[in-house]
Chain A
Amino acid sequence: MIKSCLRALLSHWRRNPVQLFAYLAGLALATALWSGVQAINSEARASYDAAATTLGEGQNNLLIPKQGDRIPQDVYISLRRSGWLVSPVIDGRLGDVRLVGVDLVTSATGLGGDTDINQSTNFTGETLLANPETAQNLAGIAEVIVDASIAPGVAVGDIGLVQRLLERDDLTRLILLADQPIAQPSLGTIAPDLRMQRAQQTTDIAQLTNSFHLNLTAFGLLSFAVGLFIVHSTIGLAFEQRRGMIRTLRALGVPLRTLVVLITVEMMILAAIGAGFGIVLGYLIAAFLLPDVAATVRGLYGAQISGTLELRASWWVSGLLLALVGTAVALSSRIWQISQMPLLASVRPRAWVIATASRFRLQTIGSIILLTATVPMTLFWDGLLAGFAVLGCLLIGAALALPALAADVLTVLQKNTVAPVWSWFWADTRQQLPGLSLALMALLLAVSANIGVSTMVSSFRLTFVSFLDQRLAPELFIQVDTADQSAALETYLKSRNIEALPLLRTQTTIAEQPVALYGVRVGQTYRDSWVFLDETPNAWEQVAGNGAVVVNEQLARRADLWVGDLVQITPDLALPISAVVGDYGNPKGQVILSETVFQNLHPDLYPSQFGVRTQQAVQLRSDIVDTLGIEDNAIIDQSAVKALSLAIFERTFVVTSALNILTLGVASFAILMSLLTLADLRVPQLAPVWALGMTRRRLGWLELLRAVLLAGLVFVCAIPMGLGLAWVLLTIINVEAFGWKLPMYLFPLEYIQLGGYAMIAAFLAAMWPALRLMRTPPSTLLRVFASER
């Protein structure tokens, strides 16, 4: 019995291959984008873990230079001799590879990685450890043992070897070993140029990038939801079309329970196949997007991600499970319907009447509840989760309201139309709404997400460009290596009466946050260029008078320190905040104080960077190189910095754009599948109109027009939704994810372009079904009247 029954159930798919394709493709697309994003995230997390293990970051306290990034070897020797148990590390770049050299004798963690150097007969002091990808980049440079657990882009080896490869004889940092002698001379006595950085003060890259990956996950989930709309719609249609078969099977003696089990097993096996395709597709999408994500993460956070994708169980299992759970949810209501359906229920397909007025009314009530819930959520709930909850309520609420709204609009249009053909057209469109509503809801989600995200990115771009104009006011930026160079440059510029903006810089900890401390010479450039988010009157005058500091938004938000609050710079010095400045594209906190205060705190530090105001940048550049011997590559002009910053910015949002396009693609696919699966059910509706004199060609064109008009209606509804989405992204999600708030700008032309894309997508999706209709043989249409269907 089971075999015969299964054969009958499966025969439906054989006779309706488009429906089967829609079901499998919907699942595949939903799973693909979700598992693709998860594959990227898990690859990134593995890279961060490998980096933490390889580099030992965050595990031990470190001694680092107060200025620059080099420690003379004799400082290390002095520390060891005076009883400080430290292990030296050298860290530098050789081409695209970051070389890290450790002392195998004193290091607490060894080289990191899986390779046991004591067991490995291949390992010598002349060997580096690197993952396979990095090892390729080191071919011909050094002997490399491949160790997959080493962080991407990093090679680790003995300190002597790395020093030789980098052509350096100094160190980058010293690791303070856990057990130090009770009595030891103070650090200030032995190594006054070093400072201690506590383990917990180092930036945890995994934590820092968490929000970025959460954003990607949200996108994956959105795409998954859009894909599930296709699945839900296909399952609904498949059940409607099989009502007759189900009745016959039961009448012929197939027990209800057996039927329910068989249908569930059948649909779940198909779901697993669809999800399997999706996982393969997801792998390809992830492999395609990974380089862009790597560039984004590197640009935003300075983190390195492996460029090679591994098939990790964590993402493909999650994709498979999510697809099965999603299908089970979509399936459950239909199974429940079957179990409740009287054996002798009407077999007439109900696809066209399933969305009754009461269903629309229920959806509208759900929509009102969800949209209303966003208000208290926004007002009284903080954090990233709140942001995503508000986003979810907005999107689902809007999607639920769409069918009822569209039905009302179509009713109004019909009432105001005199021509009979157009009156029929509007009525017929309204009649189609139930069958198309899920696809239209999917399109609404995709277009809203596109409007929201493009508003966010464009607002960010506008703000960022204006921010660069403020910050990059000096025409030249000069980096110096020594105190002598610094003094000579300042004297030289002063002698030529050129305005110089020296920048003193060190790392410190303020309000338990790792902070970059800057000392600036307040002048007209700062007063004219910097735009504050919040300030007291004469903010710069207070800084210049050594009585206040400026902090960036990141620090203000993380430490909850705002204008007027006191900042404890050192145990003996607390200054009020005179202004908070927006600082885009930088994950760290900053405190800016006057040059004088900075030099009082750190008399041994010198300005290592200068901004220079000049109208003759090219001439001055060559003069500085010739006169002071500063290397040309230490001088960067304003336009180069701007171009570099903008390039990083554009790379940052490549992934977002790609996901946007993919989501829109999935939504248009949903329309195509809905139209195709409904095509057969349309014949009885169109045959009478055809019989009354409307040509098949004209009917086909009207189908196309209908799809475009519905997409247009969806687009109009998507504009307020998209802007709401952008507002949530800019004011809630971004603040949590990046630490800064952006002003929101509107971009009507971009929206019109997006609307155009949505309508083109709908047109393309409707083309195939419309062509099929145009080519439907009259005999097929005539069957409707012959009662032989």
Chain B
Amino acid sequence: MVLRLEAVQKSFHDSERVVPVLKGVSFDLEAGQTLALRGESGSGKSTLLHIAGALEAADAGRVWVSGHDLTQMDDGGRAALRRSDIALIFQQFNLIPSLTVAANIAFQSALSGRVDQAHIKQIVTALGLDDQMEKYPEALSGGQQQRVAIARAIAAKPKLMLADEPTGNLDEDTADNVLEQMLKLVAQTGTALMVVTHSPIIAARMDRQLHLRSGLLV
């Protein structure tokens, strides 16, 4: 089991009241399995992804990532787990603007000291980024930037990949192409993938779909 959530709860506080976002969410994700998480805006999808990605702590419940109980880990432990086992892809690409495409792709692997140049080469070719390696992110189109973000995630050989609307900023053709590449690479490496999306088309291409409404899985 790569990811397990058990009765996870999370609330946010605004100036006047407590707003519950997740009200007890539980599910599992196996290695090599793909999962789409759908729901209305504000239903708690991104929060759930952040908790699963060890970016945020749950208020209650338990979360395991590749056997590690996140609720028992401190900030340093969660950071170490993100480096070694988790890869994140955001809607806003989140590349480092001052590093070249090549440096960006190798970055997370370098952080965990596991740079596999052959693996990277394979990913780069698969995503069609061979000609872009020495460019800086600002010189790339949105679709190219998202492909760099996916390449970075896969190059780190994570056990769990979490993607928040990875094709939300892309046109239909580019989105389809990027998704295709991502699924192919995930299948090759046996990575568990959870994608947060509004799109029923993307969701349909995943092994499983979960629907989140008002903080509960329905």
Contacts and interface: CB of A to CB of B under 8 A. Distances in A.
Contacts of B55: 251, 343-344
A788 B107 contact: no
Contact of A252 (B50, B75, B82, B169): B82
Contacts of B136: 15
A576 interface: no
Interface in A8-48: 8, 11-12, 14-16
A290 B136 CA distance: 50
Given A253-B81, A257-B76, A787-B142, A8 B94 contact: no
Interface centre among B95, B110, B136 (most CB of A within 10 A): B110
A669 B75 CA distance: 42
Contact of B98 (A12, A247, A250): A12
Contacts of A247: 94
A167 B96 CA distance: 81
B113 A252 contact: no
A1 interface: yes
Contacts of B110: 1, 3-4
Contacts, number: 82
A7 interface: yes
A245 B98 contact: yes
A248 interface: yes
Contacts of B88: 251-252
A247 to B, nearest CB: 7
A254 B99 contact: no
B204 interface: no
B79 interface: yes
B80 interface: yes
A251 B84 CA distance: 12
A582 to B, nearest CB: 64
A253 B108 contact: yes
B72 interface: no
A728 to B, nearest CB: 46
Interface centre among A3, A245, A255, A787 (most CB of B within 10 A): A255
Contacts of A248: 94-96
A386 interface: no
B112 interface: yes
B108 A244 contact: no
A252 B108 contact: yes
A347 interface: yes
A254 B103 contact: no
Interface in B36-63: 50, 53, 55-56
Contacts of B81: 253
A29 B64 CA distance: 54
B132 interface: no
B128 interface: no
Contacts of A255: 75-76, 79-80
A81 interface: no
B80 A252 contact: no
Contact of A347 (B75, B76, B92, B113): B92
Given A1-B111, A5-B111, A252 B83 contact: yes
A789 interface: yes
A789 B142 CA distance: 9
A654 interface: no
B172 to A, nearest CB: 16
Interface centre among B76, B94, B112, B141 (most CB of A within 10 A): B94
A648 interface: no
B96 A254 contact: no
Contacts of A12: 98
Interface centre among A5, A12, A16, A252 (most CB of B within 10 A): A252
B83 A14 contact: no
B142 to A, nearest CB: 6
Contact of B75 (A5, A16, A249, A256): A256
Interface residues of A, number: 30
Contacts of B20: none
Interface string B188-215: 0000000000000000000000000000
Given A4-B111, A11-B98, A343-B56, A253 B92 contact: no
Contacts of A254: 79, 83, 111
Interface in B99-151: 99, 103, 107-108, 110-113, 136, 138, 141-142
A16 B97 CA distance: 11
Interface in A224-282: 244-245, 247-257
Nearest to A5: B111
A4 B96 CA distance: 12
Interface centre among A253, A257, A787 (most CB of B within 10 A): A253
Contacts of A16: 98
Contact of B103 (A7, A245, A256, A344): A7
B140 to A, nearest CB: 9
B83 A1 contact: yes
A344 to B, nearest CB: 6
Contact of A344 (B50, B76, B107): B50
B112 to A, nearest CB: 7
Contacts of A343: 55-56
B81 to A, nearest CB: 7
Contacts of A245: 96-98
A249 to B, nearest CB: 8
A251 B94 CA distance: 9
A788 B144 CA distance: 11
A16 B99 CA distance: 12
Given A4-B107, A344-B55, A244 B79 contact: no
B166 to A, nearest CB: 14
Contacts of A253: 79-84, 86, 108, 111-112
Interface centre among A1, A5, A12, A256 (most CB of B within 10 A): A1
A250 B79 contact: yes
A254 B112 CA distance: 10
Contacts of A347: 92, 94
Contacts of B75: 255-256
A287 B205 CA distance: 75
A114 B80 CA distance: 63
A14 B108 CA distance: 20
Contacts of A1: 83, 110-113
A148 to B, nearest CB: 51
Contacts of A257: 76
Interface centre among B98, B107, B142 (most CB of A within 10 A): B98
A576 B99 CA distance: 83
A585 B92 CA distance: 70
B58 to A, nearest CB: 14
B126 to A, nearest CB: 21
Interface string A204-237: 0000000000000000000000000000000000
B141 A788 contact: yes
B133 to A, nearest CB: 15
A15 B97 contact: yes
Interface centre among A16, A248, A255 (most CB of B within 10 A): A248
A477 to B, nearest CB: 73
Contact of B82 (A7, A251, A788, A789): A251
A247 B138 CA distance: 18
Interface of A: 1, 3-5, 7-8, 11-12, 14-16, 244-245, 247-257, 343-344, 347, 787-789
| Shortest Cβ-Cβ A-B pairs, 9 listed | A253-B83, A253-B82, A11-B98, A4-B110, A15-B98, A255-B79, A12-B98, A248-B94, A1-B111
Given A4-B111, A245-B96, A252-B111, 7 more contacts: A1-B110, A245-B97, A253-B79, A253-B111, A255-B80, A343-B56, A788-B141
15 contacts: A1-B83, A1-B112, A4-B111, A8-B98, A14-B98, A248-B95, A249-B96, A251-B53, A251-B55, A252-B88, A252-B111, A253-B111, A253-B112, A255-B75, A255-B79
